[in-house]
């Protein structure tokens, strides 16, 4: 199943905690129901993004590791 996304954030070159901060800032600009695709190369970001989602009105639709890096699909509730 392919999940459609409304915005994409590539933070593969950013060091922690910048990917998490930029993810939050980008999600704040989206409207309810929109989906953000986040791509990072840092494994340390996985826990931080999961915590961000758990503590905010967001839903983690999917996360995976592929040729792009670590990919998160996050829906703003």
Q: How far out from the chain centre does Cα 43 lie?
A: 13
Query: What is the span of the domain harbouring residue 44?
Result: 7-76
Q: In CATH, what number is assigned to the domain containing residue 64?
A: 3.30.110.40
pLDDT at 1 over 70: no
**Given this model, what pLDDT does residue 2 score?**
81
Give how many domains the chain has, as a whole number. 1
Cα distance between residue 11 and residue 39, in whole Å: 6
Supply the pLDDT for residue 66. 94
pLDDT at 34: 98
Give pLDDT tens digits for 28-69: 999 999 999 999 998 889 999 999 999 999 999 999 999 999
Does any domain span residue 2? no
pLDDT digits (tens, 9 = 90+) for 2-28: 889 999 999 999 998 999 999 999 999
Structure confidence at residue 21 (pLDDT): 96
């Amino acid at each position: 199943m392919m999940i459609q996304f409304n915005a994409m954030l590539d933070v593969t070159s950013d060091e922690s905690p910048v990917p998490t901060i930029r993810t939050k800032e980008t999600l704040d600009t989206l409207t309810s129901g929109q989906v953000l695709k986040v791509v990072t190369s840092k494994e340390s970001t996985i826990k931080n993004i999961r915590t961000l989602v758990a503590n905010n009105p967001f839903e983690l639709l999917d996360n995976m590791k592929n040729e792009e890096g670590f990919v998160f699909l996050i829906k703003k509730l």
